[in-house]
Amino acid sequence: MDLTNILMGFSVALSWSNLAYCFIGVLVGTLIGVLPGLGPSATISLLMPSTFYLDSTSAVIMLAGVYYGAMYGGSTTSILVNMPGEAASVVTCLDGYQMARQGRGGPALGIAAFGSFIAGTMSIVGLMFAAPAMAQIALKFGPPEYFALIVLAFSFLIYTTSGSPLKASMMAILGVFIGTIGTDFITGAPRFVYGIYTLRDGIGIVPVVMGLFGVAEVLDNLEGLLQRTQIIKTKFTDLFPTLQDWKESIPAIFRGGFIGFFLGLLPGGGAIMASFVSYAAEKRISKHPERFGKGAVQGVAGPESANNSAVGANFIPLMTFGIPANVVMALILGALLVHGIRPGPMLIQEAPQLFWGVIASMYIGNVMLLILNLPLIGIWIQVLAIPYRILFPFILLFCVIGVYSLNNDVLEIIIMIVFGLLGYLMRKIKYEPTPLVFALVLSPLMENALRQSLLLSEGRFGIFFSRPISCTLMVCGIILFVLPFLMPWLRQKIVTGGS
């Protein structure tokens, strides 16, 4: 590995102007991430015109900073007020918010920040060394492989529910149904659209998540408001994670980093799936799975690391092939094209200062974010000390602004409110929103992958098993799914076999 390249990259990234753009990017990104609803894609769209006047390297440095900054910031409101700042921070709500309610909001934020930093750096290292090789692997992923991957993800995710499996399945099926609303992209046929423009693109994950988690939480808390003014215990034990926290988190961080890197590589994969899978993996591997959902620190460490790692990995298909992995990457591709830069295998040769400069600035950006976020933890915690009757209108206000900022569409605000009411009712009768969200995100992907695969195979289901990668993933998925049912039988066999 040629060190001169990365050193050259640092010399580009450490120029005063690029440092400034990096800082602006991560700062804006963090703020955007904290504000619920307003996401990196909206922000990058807004910033795009100003990047026309910048040099291409500086433009990408700034936009990339916004993206991973948003992943850092997204965890803040998830932890403090159960409102995911990003769809990728939904799982952080599950345990992070519980930690905050127990007075451990500081450690939660700290672990999230450090995890994001470590995993983000891991993915940049991966990007540096493995970009072309990883890109080749990513190309091998066709629809059957995606389908198999999602089957695997689903079998993981079954373990994330703490309550009754029947109720979880019902929520998942509801999620699948909501996921069908929109325009079927294989045939172009509208489903459940009723001629309403907003619904043509489906029900967005952001209004749903903000409603189910954020608004529902506010409604729930308002019930208790009559008795008390503060919802969160403000006796803050520490602002920083304890040694025990670190011991438990470090492995989760590394696992999350790997999961995020791998899933971020695949076009269509990304931070959301990475955070779900990481959460499920942590719960599955944990010796105390019952702690999840009640403030297990791994439930914050894993997903937050995974989503930041996915961001770094997202750049690989873009830089090496010009394939955008998701909307944000497509925007960055757009910014590059406007500057006349064509990403592709030639990019590394034709514009090395862009490629290495951006990589170097990602290291720098991660450091900046860590330095930015840590002192802010103390300030964010104070937010919790605000009497709830003053806090909740602001929360709702930010929700509304956030949702509206996506598409300037009032109907999406109404969708959020509807899901807020639904979420509130769900809490009353003890149904969890998480399976609904998972299903809503994954089932459209799964359906499309299935149908594309069957188109490719002209109807033969064997395609999932005739290709090596997809066969492996399918088999793993099936084994994982079946295993817990088989465990008692297997254990029996081993015991009797031994004697």
- Binding interface with other proteins (CB under 8 A): 41, 44-45, 48-49, 52, 138-143, 183-188, 190, 195, 197-198, 200-201, 267-268, 317, 321-324, 327, 330-335, 337-338, 340, 342-346, 407-408, 448, 452, 455-456, 458
- How far is Cα 97 from Cα 78, in angstroms, rounded to an integer? 6
Question: DSSP code of 15?
Answer: S
- Our CB check for other proteins shows the closer of 195 and 498 to be 195
Q: Cite the DSSP H helix spans in 35-101.
A: 40-51, 56-81, 90-92, 98-101
Are 122 and 309 spatial neighbours (Cβ–Cβ below 8 Å)? Answer: yes
Strand 182-183 to 190-191 pairing: antiparallel
- Our CB check for other proteins shows the closer of 158 and 333 to be 333
- Minimum CB–partner distance for residue 451 and other proteins (Å): 9
- Our CB check for other proteins shows the closer of 335 and 360 to be 335
- Minimum CB–partner distance for residue 55 and other proteins (Å): 16
- Minimum CB–partner distance for residue 452 and other proteins (Å): 5
- Minimum CB–partner distance for residue 343 and other proteins (Å): 6
- Our CB check for other proteins shows the closer of 87 and 323 to be 323
- Our CB check for other proteins shows the closer of 360 and 473 to be 473
- Our CB check for other proteins shows the closer of 6 and 46 to be 46
3-state secondary structure of 104: coil
- Minimum CB–partner distance for residue 322 and other proteins (Å): 4
- How far is Cα 258 from Cα 306, in angstroms, rounded to an integer? 7
- Minimum CB–partner distance for residue 334 and other proteins (Å): 2
Are 398 and 85 spatial neighbours (Cβ–Cβ below 8 Å)? Answer: no
- Minimum CB–partner distance for residue 136 and other proteins (Å): 9
Helix crossing, 388-407 with 216-225: angle to 10°? Answer: 160
C-alpha 160: how far from its chain's center?
Answer: 16
Half-sphere exposure of 39 (CA within 13 A, CB side): 22
Closest alpha carbon to 89 in 104, 77, 81: 77
- Our CB check for other proteins shows the closer of 54 and 94 to be 54
- Minimum CB–partner distance for residue 456 and other proteins (Å): 6
Residue 495 tokens, joined? 């015991």
Helix crossing, 271-285 with 243-265: angle to 10°? Answer: 130
C-alpha 8: how far from its chain's center?
Answer: 32
3-state secondary structure of 182: strand
- Our CB check for other proteins shows the closer of 404 and 481 to be 404
Closest alpha carbon to 72 in 115, 123, 24: 115
- How far is Cα 312 from Cα 301, in angstroms, rounded to an integer? 17
Burial classification of residue 226, based on how many CB atoms lie within 10 Å of its CB (0-12 exposed, 13-18 middle, 19 or more buried): exposed
- Our CB check for other proteins shows the closer of 408 and 499 to be 408
Complete DSSP assignment for 341-370 = ---SHHHHHH-HHHHHHHHHHHHHHHHHHH
- Minimum CB–partner distance for residue 27 and other proteins (Å): 21
